[in-house]
Amino acid sequence: MPTLSVTTVIDRPAPHVWAVLRDFRDPSAWYPMALAADGTGSPPDPAQAGIRRVVAPGGALLRERLVEHDDTGCRYTYEVLDLERQPCGLQLTGPCLATVRVESIIGGTMARVVWSVRYDYAEDGADAARDQVRRLERDMFRPALRELRRRLSH
């Protein structure tokens, strides 16, 4: 299963960065694209929300379902739902799982944020899948992590 990982380093302690990232339901504090929460399966704790909707580059509306949330480990994993119906045309043969995690570095004074996505694609569409994933990296992952770093540097 191929994995794409995008990383940034932020000059803030990991718990401070995680406090911004931990809310799966409403990532507007760091995610620059418009979004809306469905409220589907959402318990009172926003970190445990069931499904969110995120507008991706190009206007595609993605539905994402929280799979795992670990406050102690400063990470969560979610599955992108209905990806086959999106205009990007990415043809997958299995789930598309993404993980956001925060790691403490430099003696706890700084944080590394890693946003990764794992996916399986049809062999006959391997080149197209790689191109689409690179586009997601360029148009979605990197801008979001730049925005997070910018917001936390003030």
Alpha carbon distances (Å) from 41 to 46, 54, 65: 11, 16, 10
Is residue 115 scored above 90 in pLDDT?
Answer: yes
3-state secondary structure 28-93: HHCCCCCEEECCCCCCCCHHHCCEEEEECHHHCEEEEEEEEEECCCCEEEEEEECHHHCCCCCCEC
Q: What is the mean pLDDT of residues 32-36?
A: 64
pLDDT digits (tens, 9 = 90+) for 42-98: 454 555 568 888 877 677 778 889 999 999 999 999 998 876 555 556 666 778 899
Tens of pLDDT, residues 2-32: 788 999 999 999 999 999 999 888 888 888 7
Q: What's the distance, Cα to Cα, between the start and end of the chain in Å?
A: 38
Q: What is the pLDDT of residue 42?
A: 47
Closest CA to 86 of 67, 119, 59: 59
Concatenate the DSSP letters of all residues of 100-129 into one string.
EEEEEEGGGTEEEEEEEEE--B-GGGHHHH
Where do the domains of the chain lie, and which CATH numbers do they carry? 3-152 (3.30.530.20)
User: Residue 87 carries which side chain, given as an amino acid letter?
Assistant: P
Residue 77 near residue 97, CB atoms below 8 Å:
yes
Q: Is the pLDDT of residue 38 over 60?
A: no
Report the amino acid identity of residue 96. Answer: C
pLDDT at 121: 75
